[in-house]
Amino acid sequence: MASADAPEAVRTQADLEVYNREPSVGLGPALQPHGYDAIPTYNPPGTTDLKRSMGRWQFATLAALVAAIVVGAAVGGGLGKSLSDFSSTINYVPLSSSQISNLSFSCEDGRVVQNSGKFLGTYTTYCGRNFGTHVTANETDLTGKSLLLDDILGIIAYTLEDCLQTCSVTQGLATSPMPCRSLYYNADIQFAVSEWGANCWIKNGTPADIASVPVYPNTIFLSATLNDPIP
């Protein structure tokens, strides 16, 4: 038992420094001395937000890419199915002439063209000319008498090719009373059909003097002569 007269122990500055430097490593967050929390790791200002921000943008980009691929696949699949369901055997219903203003039209005066199909022929086009009717024709009848140019047949043609083909067909029909030798085609289908009932007229001959036929520039009609039927 210590004596009451024993000197009281006094801590020196060195003792205080040793006490304050006692290690706390390994105590863990719940066992830090004096109840203080562990010092957090230092991050420079903005680095954490930048990383998180980059992560969000990368994720958003990836999500958008995946969504685009999914939507593209769905649309492509639907379109492919629609196209596969479309058949060339589906019946085509053209618009009536009253629903069409002008047909596609291109003409080069004096150009030689050939129609396609079973019955073929070469034709020379005369832009802006209407051979008309009841004029003297180059052709003669069976008695050798000069013909008067006249219409054989009028049809509704949606292309010049249709009109040429009609003329050529008459060359291959044994029952044709009078083969086509020229034609008139008008691309203003609405007007021609409403006025005359047809926009393509095939004729029994060619004018004796084509050069005298009036020319109407900037129009969308023509006449054509059949040069030679092609067997």
d(CA 31, CA 26): 9
* pLDDT level of residue 161 (50, 70, 90 thresholds): very high
Domain count, the chain: 2
Domain holding 208, by residue range, is: 112-230
pTM of the model: 0.60
* 116 & 215 share domain: yes
**In the prediction, which pLDDT does 9 show?**
54
Q: What DSSP state is assigned to residue 110?
A: T
* 85 & 182 share domain: no
In contact, 158 and 189? CB cutoff 8 Å = yes
> In the predicted model, what is the mean pLDDT of residues 132-153?
89
**In the prediction, which pLDDT does 230 show?**
61
For residue 17, tell me if it sits in a domain: no
* 116 & 217 share domain: yes
d(CA 137, CA 146): 7
For residue 86, tell me if it sits in a domain: yes
List the end-to-end C-alpha distance of the chain, in Å, as a whole number.
146
For residue 36, tell me if it sits in a domain: no
Q: What DSSP state is assigned to residue 207?
A: B
Q: If DSSP codes are grouped into helix, strand and coil, which group holds residue 154?
A: strand
Dihedral over alpha carbons 125, 222, 138, 173 (to 10 degrees): 80
* 81 & 118 share domain: no
